[in-house]
Amino acid sequence: MLAAHLPALQVVIPLMAAPLCAIFRRGYLGWLIAVAANWFAFAAAILLVFRVLEEGTISYAMGGWVPPIGIEYRVDIINVFVLLVVTGVGSVIIPFARAGTAARFNNTDQAWFYTMYLLALTGLLGVTITGDAFNIFVFLEISSLASYVMIAMGRDRRALTAAYQYLIMGTIGATFIVLGVGMLWAMTGTLNLADLAERIPEVSDTRPVLVALAFLTVGISLKLALFPLHLWLPNAYAYAPAVASAFLAGTATKVAIYLFVRIFYTVFGGSGFFSTTPLPEMFLVLSVVAMFAASVVAVFQDDVKRMFAYSSVAQIGFITLGISFVTEAGLTAAMVHLFNHAIMKAGIFLMLGAIMFRLASVQIDDLAGIGRKMPITMAGIVILGLGLLGVPGTSGFISKWWLVLAALENGHWWLVALIVLASLVTMLYVGRVVEVAYFREPSAKVAVMREAPASMLIPAYVLVLATIYFGLETNWSVGLAEQAAAKLMSAVY
């Protein structure tokens, strides 16, 4: 029965599709394969959501080897939510890729690009779905290596250095994670996450476990680009091809956030453990600093892609802020924003990709008057920008709403003020783009431009509509996030 193997197929199909692209070496075919694989993965994720909602947690033994000996894929409400985000964002992005990649690369390179894309997707899905600590590391490396290649394929030569730095930092992060996992294995004798969750409480105050915890914290913080370990991110997002930027911004950091809550909440024994560590305070401070420092940097950026890359760092601050509350409301806020931000930021990077496609630049001064020449694209950026701001009617509002509620529940009045203030800073950089695009005379270069092709606008607008839809109808986003948060707090794996 195929349905029983859905958890495996979720990862295996993109994994098998990747070499197919490489074998055929045809750009169009590669694209078709990538779209098909990604859409299949999305369908699988949706089916898994329904199954999890009906049956509860699904445990799948890879290759029939029963856990804890074999590798277990474990799908519960928490990671199925993340699977949905990753595959959903990917499914929208990948149709967009065709026009841009076809214009820039020859057949072979196009095929390589889709191969790398599918490998990155496989890795992210694997990290999310697996119930095995070492497996996490393996998939993390798969996705990271593939993303380095994708970033290095950017049109700017600075993409190479950006990819190199990401490689160094990503490798350090992965190494730290594997060191942490190794120490946990030494103390407990198991790599299965469920087993770990059972055995760690007995040894949780031994020194190796604490060292493991420190390595895991730093390793994952690097991956999720928590301030001040975000330094690899701005260049990587800014110089990567648009599709890669959108995909990574929408999914890679989100999966790292998932990994963080998975390890600290469920594996280490739920909120009880998390709140005994100094982590909530550390995260609170770092998140707030990220919200402001990165936003202010974004205001002054002249490269619009880099501007929104910094904005990602700030928005990740909003997510980790929710995590730092250690309450159900806080985690709900974090999960909802994880969902909403993935959609909004991926959308913005796609729009910027469309501009890049026509103009070959996203320097802010080059965008003067572009609102008149690419009205549809710019309107999309404005709507998504309003979403980042948290304007009601967009999904960003829902995120902020829950975050403010969570802050109030903890009695953090001053945090509410800070959240609002950080949103106002967001308005400054979004406003800067709007001002340049709409209130300046078009430059000679812009004056001859045309609107982006429909093959780009349609996928990008799916994300715009999603931003509005999830701003009004929250049953899916908030509903699932609430269940995930409840599960995280209960510390039952």
Binding site for another protein (CB under 8 A): 161, 164-165, 168-169, 172, 176, 205, 207, 210-211, 213-215, 217-218, 221-222, 228-229, 231-232, 234-235, 276-278, 282, 293-294, 296-297, 299-302, 310, 386, 391-393, 398, 401, 404-405, 408, 416, 420, 423-424, 427, 431, 435, 438-439, 472-474
Which tokens belong to 120?
Answer: 């990155």
For another protein, the closer of residues 60 and 397 by Cβ is: 397
For another protein, the closer of residues 94 and 457 by Cβ is: 457
For another protein, the closer of residues 46 and 282 by Cβ is: 282
> How far is 112 from 25, CA to CA, in rounded Å?
8
For another protein, the closer of residues 210 and 447 by Cβ is: 210
CB of 325 to another protein, least distance (A): 16
Q: What are phi and psi of 61, to 5 degrees?
A: -90, 120
> How far is 134 from 127, CA to CA, in rounded Å?
10
For another protein, the closer of residues 26 and 182 by Cβ is: 182
User: Across the chain, which distance is largest between two alpha carbons, in Å?
Assistant: 70
CB of 225 to another protein, least distance (A): 12
For another protein, the closer of residues 87 and 253 by Cβ is: 253
DSSP type of residue 72:
E
How much helix, strand and coil, in percent to the nearest 5, is found in the chain? Answer: 80, 5, 15
By C-alpha distance, which of 450, 462, 375 is closest to 91?
A: 462
For another protein, the closer of residues 45 and 478 by Cβ is: 478
The amino acid at residue 51 is R
Residue 422: half-sphere exposure toward Cβ, Cα within 13 Å: 27
By C-alpha distance, which of 221, 227, 224 is closest to 253?
A: 224
Q: What are phi and psi of 93, to 5 degrees?
A: -70, -40
> How far is 17 from 22, CA to CA, in rounded Å?
9
CB of 355 to another protein, least distance (A): 20
CB of 344 within 8 A of CB of 380?
Answer: no
Query: Which residues are paired to 59 by β-bridges?
Result: 74
> How far is 222 from 252, CA to CA, in rounded Å?
12
Q: Is 156 helix (H, G, I), strand (E, B) or coil?
A: coil
The amino acid at residue 216 is L
Residues in the chain, total: 493
CB of 288 to another protein, least distance (A): 15
> How far is 400 from 424, CA to CA, in rounded Å?
12
Element at 74 (helix H, strand E) = strand 72-75
By C-alpha distance, which of 104, 120, 420, 421 is closest to 250?
A: 120
For another protein, the closer of residues 121 and 222 by Cβ is: 222
CB of 262 to another protein, least distance (A): 18
CB of 473 to another protein, least distance (A): 8
For another protein, the closer of residues 408 and 458 by Cβ is: 408
CB of 309 to another protein, least distance (A): 11
CB of 172 to another protein, least distance (A): 6
For another protein, the closer of residues 96 and 215 by Cβ is: 215
CB of 295 to another protein, least distance (A): 9
CB of 33 to another protein, least distance (A): 35
